[in-house]
Amino acid sequence: MTGSFSLPPRPAGASPAEAPHDWVDRFLLAGPDDEECLRFGAPVDRATLRARVAEQAERLTAAGLSSGGTAALRLAPSLGYTAVLLACWQLGAQAILLDYRLTDHEVALAVERLAPQVLVESAHRPAAALRGFAETDPVPLALPGGRPAATGHALVQLSSGSTGPAKVIARTASDLLRELDCYRRLELFPKAGERVVLLSSVVHVLGLVGGLLNSLHARVPLTVPERMTTAGILAAIAADDRPTTVIGVPFHAELLAGATAPPPLPQLRRMIVAGELVRPGVPAAFAARYGVPLGTMYGMTELGVIATDLDGTLHPGAAPVHGMDLLEDGGELHIAMAASPYPGLDDPTRWSGGRLHTRDAGRIDPATGQVTVLGRRDSQVSIGGLKVDLNEVEQTLAALPEVREAVVVFEDGAIEAFLAAEPVADHATVRDTLTRELASYKRPRRLSFLPALPRTATGKLVRDTTALRAAAAAAAPAS
């Protein structure tokens, strides 16, 4: 390890029993008892957080979780979520993060595939729309047939959905600490004496590591707004005089850039976004509105932060973080990575020869090493910073009894689906089923029903959006 970290790297596939478990206490929970570390409506000091972690560790132990065990967390952003996550790691268990917005159907698929020994959900109702956090009372439930961890990974995340082996990504404690060391080395990233207002999901990599874990480690109090509206975010920024950095996704930057007559915010230092490409004009609009830069970061669930432009001077480029070795291969970005982050998956198109194939199109400046990301080269897209696999959406649609075949495309920032359905198919039933089977951010904004989907001369389904829309318009009944 580099810098202030002393935890040695663990070999890929190491036994769970070999993992040191005191890294949570040393790097995340340490600090004065009365020091504020989190704010979910009310401030939380480190003594309170440590007590909540100990309480959740007792509950998890009573449910049968122990070192080398596995626990899936389906909890909204909250003190309860934070405490359960840290308690899992404190016990030496593997934490599997499930987005609380997933439907019961999607969670059931994830549990069937990953077989956690314990599932932790909240006794309270799910958070209302636009709420930044929710009251949670975590309830651990032992699951029959659950399996212990097969590897020494501390964290398992689903990058784009709940099914499919390629979507399962695992990271070790050593890798998480390596990423925290990268943040420590970034001069413009929040330091002690400052604060963070976090808008990104704490289930996904930016909000989890760059937001929650880094704030705990760097002793930077973290605030989650009560409401994820323009007014709610601005109120969270204005609530404290300390220098403040806002961390979110480009959607949040566009939301704030469009605010009419925002209040003076002398404490605001910058906003940093990641998760998808920033639309042209947004950085300038944000800077004009608030007089501070819109910084950007490029990262992946597999590695965390990869490159940054925190003061907005390199846009659309970014500088690789410490120790990151990037390579441009045929227009695709590859990154040095000693071991595959995909447990149980042998896919040379994703990882081979010590290189992670990002499937991102990009170019690297040979003189400066700066990287410019040009977009995805596969079916994965980003909706408000949340990853969605169009193949998963397409397969879900095609599996419906009313649907013969489906094509799903991503255009103008939205998912659109074209369906070949029986003439007697009930369109309302299709929509209702999607509501049960897909999280809201994965659902197509528009469904077009056709008697048959257009095909090429060789019989392949047409995937050109313009041609599909033309076919849908031609099939629409005359008004």
What integer pLDDT is reported at residue 154 of this predicted model? 97
In DSSP notation, 43-67 reads: EEEHHHHHHHHHHHHHHHHHTT--T
For the cut 80, the answer to whether the pLDDT of residue 386 exceeds it is yes
pLDDT tops 80 at residue 303? yes
pLDDT, tens digit, 9 for 90 and up, residues 153-198: 999 998 754 223 336 899 999 999 999 999 999 999 999 999 999 9
* Residue type at position 137: D
Can you tell me the distance from the alpha carbon of 18 to that of 11, in angstroms, rounded to the nearest whole number? 10
pLDDT at 16: 34
pLDDT bucket at 9, cuts 50 / 70 / 90: very low
Is the confidence at residue 151, as pLDDT, over 70? yes
Mean pLDDT value of segment 58-80: 97
DSSP SS3 for 406: strand
**What's the confidence (pLDDT) of residue 364?**
96
Tokens linked to 199: 């808008």
pLDDT at 456: 64
Specify the pLDDT at position 54: 98
Of residues 239 and 275, the one with the higher pLDDT is 239
What share of the chain in percent tops pLDDT 70?
Answer: 92
Q: What is the pLDDT of residue 72?
A: 98
Mean pLDDT across the chain: 89
Q: Is the pLDDT of residue 301 over 70?
A: yes
Cα 99-101-107 angle, rounded to 5 deg: 65
**pLDDT > 90 fraction of the chain, expressed in percent and rounded:** 71
d(CA 164, CA 434): 19
| Residue scoring higher pLDDT (214 or 375) | 214
3-state secondary structure of 138: strand
pLDDT(288) > 60: yes
Q: Backbone dihedral region of 163: left (phi > 0), alpha (psi from -120 to 50 degrees) or beta?
A: beta
pLDDT single digits (tens) 414-456: 999 999 987 778 889 999 999 999 999 999 999 999 998 988 6
Mean of pLDDT values over 66-91:
97
Mean pLDDT value across residues 259-274: 96
Q: How confident is the model at residue 129 (pLDDT cuts 50, 70, 90)?
A: confident
What is residue 4's predicted lDDT score, i.e. its pLDDT? Answer: 35
pLDDT at 200 over 60: yes
Gap between the Cα atoms of 398 and 392, Å rounded: 10
More confident site: 23 or 477: 23
| Residues 215/217/221/224 CA torsion (nearest 10 deg) | 40
Kind of pairing between the strands at 355-364 and 332-336: antiparallel
pLDDT(10) > 50 = no
DSSP secondary structure letter of residue 267: T
- Of 63-77, 278-292, 443-457, the one with minimum mean pLDDT is 443-457
Instruction: State the pLDDT at residue 273.
Output: 96
- Say if CB 101 and CB 125 are below 8 A apart: no
* Domains of the chain as residue ranges with CATH: 1-170 (3.40.50.980), 381-475 (3.30.300.30)
- Residue 461: predicted pLDDT: 79
